[in-house]
A and B are shown apart, each in its own frame.
Chain A
């Protein structure tokens, strides 16, 4: 590595309302390096990225690019310094075309000075998609018609668009593969390697340890707002990295079941039966009807909760939580009838006790049940959704992607909660696109294709490959 690192951060600190989010972060990214930024939810990754992007002002920071001290005071300033961002949240304009979304924020090619040269615009956009090897997206169609994965690809390709004046030096990517398929991710990784070969760098934020081990050179792990350097990743193991992240030795990825499911059926419908204490996994390619199955079982929410069916929806922010409200009010919302006087008069003290007890059950880390949900990290928000679901001691728990976007530590907590519930006789239906999770947690796995359950298999001894083949319908090749 040559003299000065491409990006050097020294002593970056930031506190929100007196609570430190970052405490003196030092971080170097060398030229031609893919550097991973890891850490549990709430460890300070987002804050650090926002500081680099010029969105958040640090309390203190020395930032140098190619050895020269710089001051990032606005998103435009960050752009001029050659920093490019691919954020986790998709910020796209659905009503504009794919091409317009790619060129958004930059001057459109003109004809006669005033008219937009649409052909040139589409060519530019096509070129940007080419860099990722994408040919299946029509740049003239509306963004709204694209799948989530395709939208992410468009967003990513937009960051690679060539530019005059401020050449890109460092790409900061926040969970870019969260919505991508394996093939799409592979294409992205190929581009990342090309960036690396050209001497530019990537700061790569991800929860996916396998991914980080495969493509990154080094990692910086944030824990409680402090940085830990992993050293060269090729010299350490997967488990070492997990241990760095959670601050303890990584044990089993999935807690073991303490007892077998009972023979008594808790829930039954044609093609599906869940026994008391049993976890039935639901596998399938994306859009095979998993969410629809859960919604069909759930039916009318008011009746479902009353009859002992609880639901943890896929999108915790938009479907699971009223983030502007305190934790306890979220937890008691489906149980207000029981947690009030005569179903009418609020009893906040009783509600808080109820919520505090459930919060302890799910190992919720919060300042108290009066804290607003939006102040919690993603993992703790998900625990609030769980506490809410477990409040009425349901007989059937419906889980839709319960660990998506949740860090390693919180994941294990959530698995333990699920095990705990089944040992008390609760029946669980678990939809997940994480195949190891399904195999590790479920007793049996129902495989869905085109909206119907095509087969149900024992999870014990099932290989990931066999399960994937079942999802694709290549039964003959299975096992």
Chain B
């Protein structure tokens, strides 16, 4: 019973939440359109959380993903105002994310600063940079090319349903991270670092290089999420990504409650993201105040994580 609760408690809780919304919102919740909406709303979080999973597999954190998302949106928008073509502006913004991630990785693996401290510092730096570059203003309107905003509004039409482009991007990122973590030697070595960094090093795992790579990918995914966000609202402001970081970490933690060893797994992170997204969607539809929503989401995270740790530490 206890071990069942430990492994499947979070999933069971998710099912209860789904059932609750399906009963309270019989006409709108369990519809294809609503679920496509949910996946679209979730796409940014999914991309950031996927990147976050990569560093958390090594037992590290990246607190700077939110401000990196803001920064990348700003960088692209500024380049648009300077008349750069879309592909180039997007490419440069992604490059900024990669570079920011490399800086995080270098601070952690080459300089040896704790990830918490290093990425807390770069969080502030990226955020400051976003303000400096944008002059603190929201960049919107005609400066943003129409095609860039259109991307988020369009999708792939199959029969009667249209799968939003943002959802497709999120699924592709999810698949790529799944392949990386579950199917390649890189993923295996990242898990070894997370399990025992000393044993991994003595087994010939290139710890420093992999940390650098992992943080770089997390930065890249944060920048990608920032671009998705900018496309969705057809504008960029220097704080719009700030909510992503805590939610991404929360999603990974929710996922970790489902693994026996408490390791982050990418598909478990997906469940975590879905839980957060479904709660947000359902509570919004029930017109629950957004601050009350925050309290509820926080409480659910506490319940899920403590249920899993209480059952783990129970007398054997």
Question: Which residue numbers of A lie inside 8 Å of B, CB to CB?
Answer: 16, 55-57, 298, 301-302, 304-306, 311, 313, 318-325, 329, 333-334, 336-337, 340, 343-346, 372, 388
A319-B198, A325-B195 given as contacts; is B316 within 8 A of A306 (CB)?
no
Q: Which of B183, B184, B187, B202 contacts A313 (CB 8 A)?
A: B202
Q: Are A321 and B196 in contact (CB under 8 A)?
A: yes
Residues B188 and A329 in contact, CB atoms below 8 Å apart: yes
B58 to chain A, nearest CB (A): 12
Shortest beta-carbon distance, A454 to chain B, in Å? 28
A304 and B185: CB pair below 8 A?
no
What are 7 inter-chain pairs, A to B, with CB distance below 8 A? A56-B315, A306-B204, A320-B202, A322-B200, A325-B192, A329-B192, A333-B203
- Chain B interface residue count, Cβ-Cβ cutoff 8 angstroms: 25
The reply to whether B204 and A302 contact each other, CB–CB distance below 8 Å, is yes
CB of B201 within 8 A of CB of A321, answer no
In whole angstroms, what is the CA distance A323 to B182 when docked? 18
**B223 to chain A: closest CB distance in Å?**
25
Q: Which residues of B contact A344 (CB under 8 A)?
A: 184-186
The 3 closest A-B pairs by CB, nearest first: A322-B195, A302-B204, A333-B203
What are the residues of chain A within 8 A of B261 when measuring CB–CB? 324, 372
New contact pairs (7) apart from A318-B199, A333-B189, A336-B189, CB-CB < 8 Å: A301-B205, A311-B202, A324-B196, A325-B195, A336-B185, A344-B186, A346-B188
Q: Pick the residue among A301, A306, A333 that contacts B192 (CB under 8 A).
A: A333
Contact B203 A323 (CB under 8 A): no
**What is the interface of chain B mostly: helix, strand, loop, or mixed?**
helix
- Specify which chain B residues have a CB less than 8 angstroms from the CB of A304 in the assembled complex: 204
Residues from chain A with a CB closer than 8 A to the CB of B263 are 324
Question: Closest approach, in angstroms, between the C-beta of B207 and any C-beta of chain A?
Answer: 10
Quick one: closest B residue to A340, CB to CB?
B185
Shortest CB-to-CB span from B175 to chain A, Å, is 15
B184 adjacent to A334 (CB under 8 Å): no
Chain B residues lying within 8 Å of A345, measured Cβ to Cβ, are: 183-185
B137 CB to closest chain A CB (Å) equals 45
Say whether B91 faces chain A, with CB atoms less than 8 Å apart: no
**Residues of chain B lying within 8 A (CB to CB) of residue A343:** 185
The answer to whether B191 has its CB under 8 Å from any CB of chain A is: yes
Please tell me which one of the listed residues B191, B195, B199 contacts residue A320 in the complex, with CB atoms under 8 A apart.
B199
- B4 nearest CB across to chain A (Å): 13
CB distance B204 to A305 under 8 Å?
yes
Bound form: Cα–Cα A55–B184 in Å: 41
B206 interface residue, CB < 8 Å from A?
Answer: yes
A346→B196 contact, CB < 8 A: no
Which residues on A sit within 8 Å (CB–CB) of B198? 318-319
- Which residue in chain A gives the minimum CB-CB distance to B184? A344
Provide the residues of chain B in CB contact with A57, threshold 8 Å: 315-316
Q: Known contacts A311-B202, A333-B203, A346-B184; is A324 also within 8 Å of B195 by CB?
A: yes
Q: Once the chains bind, are B185 and A323 in contact (CB under 8 Å)?
A: no
- Docked complex Cα distance between A302 and B201 (Å): 8
List chain B residues, Cβ under 8 A from A336. 185, 188-189
Known: A16-B316, A302-B206, A323-B195. A333 touches B200 (CB 8 A): yes
Q: Which of A305, A346, A372 has the most CB of B within 10 A?
A: A346
Chain A nearest CB: distance from B202 CB in Å? 5
Query: A305 — which chain B residues lie within 8 A by C-beta?
Result: 203-204
Task: Give complex CA distance A16, B316 in Å.
Answer: 8
Contacts of B206 in A (CB 8 A): 302
Whether A333 contacts B316 by the Cβ 8 Å rule is no
